[in-house]
Structures are given as structure tokens and as C-alpha cells.
Structure 1
Amino acid sequence: MLPEHEALLILTREQFPELHGATCEVETILKGASDRHFYRLKWQDGREPMILMVYTLARRDNPKFVPATRRLEKIGAHVPHVMAFDEQRLCVWLQDLGRVDLHSFDQKPWSARQPLYEATLREAAKIHGVDEQHLTATDLTELEPAFDEALYEWEQNYFLDHFVGGHLGREFSDAEYADAHGALQQLRRRLGRLPRCLVHRDFQSQNVLIQGEEAWLVDYQGLRLGRAEYDLASLLYDPYVNLTRSERGSLLRYYAEHRGLDLAELREVFYLCAAQRLMQALGAYANLSRNLGKPHYLQHIPAAVSNLAEVCQEGPNLQELRAFFEGGF
């Protein structure tokens, strides 16, 4: 066994004295772009496996995972149960929800995927049911900073710096992009004025685990106030999977009916949030591939650009944004 794994087992047995002497296999779980490390602890005596998450303080949202878990459990959302927490050693032991995520169903027929997406939207609705008025000042200290015009602008600049400038090599400050910059300003101002609710923030297919016909959420340490449509856009315009326009429309209609919302109003803000989210994603893919040594994220850029082009066609006052990315991946 690797020395690192032996050290992790020592820490685990300190938390769970009943496991002293129990044989365990430690499996390293490779997960996305996170700076956290995950391990599956598989006990040989028939006990249920558990997940050990070891995090760092390099990201401000990492310590928010446990408070976010407890908050989501209180509203009945499906999230992994925290079995133990060592705040000093930055370790969290979690219920093991298995290996199957929503992304793994991408090649299945829509008849198999649709109920899983609908189950996922029902979990989202639980989170979105908590609006700003339900949260105290103390509650807000446990969340990441809320979406406001400044945060939307930060995401837009992330897109401009890393994707438009870094990846495409375009001088986006040139006069030819003046109308596109005006569209960005209009977008962030409009979104920043809208009322907010609790949102997951990274609500994509790899952050949804599937058990039977139920959806379970992970990677929600970025929990904050924002627009529900931002989460919906993260899921329905996820560049990691293939959803048709008809399938997206069906799921958006399902969510509106589930929450008793006006579909036309939901759709209008949905496209605005989709443009915002896809620009953020493109900035991330470019930054991860160019600057952080993760070139495999380049493969997701064409799908994200294609999705953004569609959104700019569908949404109000988004056409000018096409100047930033048209004709290049």
C-alpha cells in the first residue's frame, strides 16, 4: 500500500475506532479540475465503503463544503451524508454514492435519460425554493459571495481574457467590438437587478450522481445566491453532453410546471443566464488548457461555442456577443 494511503487509513481509524484492524483497500478517485483529492475506502469485512475528501485552502469555497452539505440536508436535497469531519486536517468522510453520474448516460436513448434529468431538476427545485428572504446575515456568511453585477462582470472578463484574448488571440478592446461590449454590459446589469435564490453554481452532468432513478448532488461548495436559470443553463447547455433543442425545451417545460412558473418568463431569463454561463465555461476551458496544464479541456470548446451561438440566436439582445467568438474555436 502507498505510504499516502496508509496515512489516510490512520486518520480514518482515529475517526472511526471500530475500524481498527479492519482491512481496507484505498482507491484514488480522479475528478475534474478540482484541487481536492478523493479516495474510496473499501472495507473487506462487508462494511459499506466511504469516500474521503482531502481539501486545501487554496480555494475559498473548499471549506464551505460541509456547511453547504448540512444546509442542503435540512431542505431535503439529496446530498452525501457527512460521516466525520476533521477541520484541522482538512478531511471529510462521506457517504459513498457510487460511481454512476448523469454524464455516463449521454449515449443512452432519450427515453432512458429523460427521467434522470427530470429527477435532477426536482433536486434543483429544492435548492431554488430557498429565496433571499429566507436567509439571515449569519446564513450568508456560510455561502459564497452572491451573484451580482460585479460577479457577472468578473465572469465576462474571465471569458474575454482567457478565451477571446488568450485562446482566439483577438484584441477584444478594439473599436470593432464596441457593440459586443455594450451587449455584455446590458446582460450583467439586467441579471444583477433580478431577485435571487439559492443556486448550486456548477450544476452540470458530472456533478450529479445516479442511484436507481434518483439523482444526488455533489460539488456544491460554491452554493450562493443567484438565479435559478443559471443552474438550469449549466445543466441543459452542458458542453459535456448532447441534448437536442427539443429535449432542452421539454426539460425546461417540466421544471416550469414542477415549480408553477410561467414558461415564457423562465425561458427569457434562461437564455440570458445560458449566455453568461457558457462564457464562463469557455473562459475556464481556455485557462485550464493554456495555463494550468490540462489540455484535455480543449476538446469541450467546440461544443461550448456551438451552444453559445445557439443561445445568442434564441435569447433577447444577445446577437452582438457573436462578434467575440464567431469564426474561431
Structure 2
Amino acid sequence: MTEAPSARARVDGYLERSGLAAQHPRVVPLTGDASDRKYFRVLIPDAPSIVLSLYAAPFDVRTLPFVNVATLLAKMPVPIPAVLGHADDLGVIALEDLGDVTLQAHLGAASPAEHAALYRQAVALIAMMQRRGAELASAEYLPYGIAFDVEKLTWELDFFTKHFLEAYRGVTLTAEERDALRDEFAVLVRALAAEPRVLCHRDYHSRNLMLHEAQLYIIDFQDARMGPDTYDLVSLLRDSYVDLPDHTVQELLAYFLALKGLTGTEREFRERFDQMALQRNLKALGTFGYQTTARRNPVYIQYIPRTLKYVRDNLAQQPRFERMRDLLATYVEEFR
């Protein structure tokens, strides 16, 4: 069996093909994300740097989700990194370099006014994606064929059970306990899956928004799909990586509803927002448990306490999920 080329060999192969190698660029590895992609910055003398995204395997760019969704988002348009080139057999995509400053990283240095303006910008981009996403709906774009349906939402909560409760916390569930928990999750899932669907980024949080030349750019959008209109707002405003005061959350929800022409529906929208947050934050705990135990990546442990607090506070405010809270509190002391 032929051995797969190393990451550096694939980078060098792309640079040779593109003609960039002749400019003697410097290649710098970048910190990756929770995916299996690897990233390298290519510093080119007297020219803008670029970023190479290396996939785990070769691909066909015509069917690659990232490129498909990028085409959709560019038509809206919303700010995303430009695709500059690709080498399908090497599993390499060349992207515009947006720098290193995520929204999360910038917040510590931002003034209160700048902080507020950036979050309003981020919320406005969600409203834009929802509005233009409806106008541009077409079977040629992958997100319109997949959704946060009962199967997907249930799978994510089962992922929480397996990777957070069992693998990370070491809980042993009996068949009866597992069924009882799934029954409570099913109530939440049915309510969310029944909501009208809009285009969702799916992972719209402070690490997937880059600040570049005073403008937020959206990255990591390849898993976009249809789902509740609260989904991306929950990702942004109940973010495991950033604390936002509840009054700020309320103000930003009101701003979103004003952009959508839905002023006066705040109470009903907030109820649906909190319901979506419960599912999304449980799913995040599953991801953090998986990264820690299966991928041996401890960096996400620091974000577990904030996410647990979101879930605890949310359960305390939603009487319809009292049974779920009681069951989870049996296994997770932070929920007691």
C-alpha cells in the first residue's frame, strides 16, 4: 500500500504547482480546530499571505461542502474568506488569510462600545443569512437538503450521553435510566424539529468569526443546514467560549427581532431561544467530552464549567423540563 504524503509534502506540492515555490515563501503551521483539518500560513515576499487548509483525504472540489456553501454565502453576500485555489488530489484548498484575531480573542481588548458594535454586526449577519438564504434557496446548495430534524437533534443528545456523561464523567446508566433520559430528550427534540426552518451556519460562535480590517468574517461554515431561527443566535449568545450578561443577550435578541420586523414577539422568541440553548449546550458538552476522552485534546476542559452553568440556569427556568433536570442532576452534581 502506498504511504500517504506528509502534510508538509502536500503543502510543498501545492506551492510547486501554483508557482508560489519560486517566490521562496515561508510556511508556518497554525493551530487547528476540533476537526481533522490542518492549517498552514504561507508568507510570500512582497505579497499577501495565504492560508492552506489540508483535508484528511483527497476531494472533488465540485462536491466539497466548504466550497459549495462558500458559493452560496458569497452570493448573499456575507464576508467570508476567498477561495484562491485548490489541489483536489492533495486535499488542499488555498484561502484568503484573515489573520489570527477571532471575535473571542479581540473581546479582551475591545472597549464596551466596540464590544457592543461587534456583536450587533454579528447578529446582523445572522439576519442577513436567514433573509438571503430564503431568497437563494436551491437544491444545488447542500444546506437546503439537510436539517436539524428529529434524527439529527436526537443523535446530538445521544452524543452528550455517550461522551460527556459516560466517557468524561464515568456515569454508568442502566437501560431503564437511558430510556428515561431519552424520553425527556424526545420532548425537547420534537419541539425544536417542528419549528419553521431557516438557513443556519451551525457553529456560529466567537471562534468562527474573524476580525479582519474592522469587519467580521465568517469561517467554518461547511456544515450549514436548515434549522430553527434561534439556532445561530444561541451559538453566538450562549457561547461556551464567552460570557455575555443576560441584559446584553436580551438587547441583542431585541435587535435581531427589529431587523426581522418582528418587534413585539420578544417573550415568545426568548422562550424558543432558551429551548434551543438547552439542546445546543448539551450537545457542546458532548463535544467537549469527546475531544477530551476520545481525541486526547484537553484544551476544551476549561469551557465545560461555563456550559454547565448555561444548562443549569436554563433548566431552572423551564418548568416543562423539570423531569429532565431531575434525571440529569442524578449524574451531574452541577445541576443539583
Q: Normalized against structure 2, the TM-score is what?
A: 0.87
Tell me which residue corresponds to 2:51: 51
Matched letter for residue 243 of structure 2 = N
Matched letter for residue 161 of structure 2 = L
Q: In the TM superposition, what is the alpha-carbon distance from 1:105 to its structure 2 partner?
A: 2.7
Tell me which residue corresponds to 1:124: 126
Any idea what SS the aligned residue of 2:93 has?
strand
Matched letter for residue 243 of structure 1 = L
Q: In the TM superposition, what is the alpha-carbon distance from 1:133 to its structure 2 partner?
A: 8.1
Alignment deviations for residues 97-122 of structure 1 (CA, whole Å, 9 cap, x no partner):
11111001343453331111111111
Q: In the TM superposition, what is the alpha-carbon distance from 1:165 to its structure 2 partner?
A: 2.2
Contact 2:130-2:199 within 8 A present in 1 as well: yes
Q: In the TM superposition, what is the alpha-carbon distance from 1:266 to its structure 2 partner?
A: 2.0
| Residues 163-312 of structure 1 aligned to structure 2 (within 5 Å) | 163-173=164-174, 180-261=181-262, 262-312=265-315
Find the aligned partners of 2:199 and 2:223 in 1 and give their Cα distance: 10
Q: In the TM superposition, what is the alpha-carbon distance from 1:90 to its structure 2 partner?
A: 1.5
Contact 1:52-1:93 within 8 A present in 2 as well: yes
Alignment deviations for residues 198-230 of structure 1 (CA, whole Å, 9 cap, x no partner):
111111110000124321000011011112211
Q: In the TM superposition, what is the alpha-carbon distance from 1:93 to its structure 2 partner?
A: 0.7
Find the aligned partners of 1:320 and 1:210 in 2 and give their Cα distance: 42
Contact 1:166-1:286 within 8 A present in 2 as well: yes
Tell me which residue corresponds to 1:26: 27
Find the aligned partners of 1:165 and 1:180 in 2 and give their Cα distance: 13
Find the aligned partners of 1:259 and 1:236 in 2 and give their Cα distance: 18
Matched letter for residue 41 of structure 2 = R
Distance change >3 Å, CA 84–CA 137, structure 1 → 2: same
Tell me which residue corresponds to 2:333: 327
| Residues 134-149 of structure 1 aligned to structure 2 (within 5 Å) | 135-140=137-142, 145-149=146-150
Q: In the TM superposition, what is the alpha-carbon distance from 1:181 to its structure 2 partner?
A: 4.0
Any idea what SS the aligned residue of 1:135 has?
coil
Tell me which residue corresponds to 2:93: 92
Matched letter for residue 327 of structure 1 = E
Q: In the TM superposition, what is the alpha-carbon distance from 1:149 to its structure 2 partner?
A: 0.7
Distance change >3 Å, CA 172–CA 231, structure 1 → 2: farther
Distance change >3 Å, CA 255–CA 48, structure 1 → 2: same
Find the aligned partners of 1:51 and 1:328 in 2 and give their Cα distance: 41
Contact 1:205-1:235 within 8 A present in 2 as well: yes
Q: In the TM superposition, what is the alpha-carbon distance from 1:251 to its structure 2 partner?
A: 1.4
Distance change >3 Å, CA 313–CA 299, structure 1 → 2: same
Any idea what SS the aligned residue of 1:94 has?
strand
Any idea what SS the aligned residue of 1:255 has?
helix
Q: In the TM superposition, what is the alpha-carbon distance from 1:180 to its structure 2 partner?
A: 4.9
Contact 1:120-1:216 within 8 A present in 2 as well: no
Find the aligned partners of 1:202 and 1:31 in 2 and give their Cα distance: 16
Distance change >3 Å, CA 21–CA 136, structure 1 → 2: closer
Contact 2:69-2:141 within 8 A present in 1 as well: no
Tell me which residue corresponds to 1:66: 67
Find the aligned partners of 2:113 and 2:321 in 1 and give their Cα distance: 33
Find the aligned partners of 1:83 and 1:318 in 2 and give their Cα distance: 48
How many equivalent pairs are there?
Answer: 323
Alignment deviations for residues 95-152 of structure 1 (CA, whole Å, 9 cap, x no partner):
1111111001343453331111111111222222255685333434x66731101111
Which of the residues 12, 15, 22 maps onto 1:12? 15
Tell me which residue corresponds to 1:112: 114
Alignment deviations for residues 64-115 of structure 1 (CA, whole Å, 9 cap, x no partner):
1111111110110110111112223221111111111100134345333111
Find the aligned partners of 1:317 and 1:178 in 2 and give their Cα distance: 18
Find the aligned partners of 1:58 and 1:255 in 2 and give their Cα distance: 40
Distance change >3 Å, CA 159–CA 4, structure 1 → 2: closer
Percent identical among aligned pairs is 26
Matched letter for residue 279 of structure 2 = Q
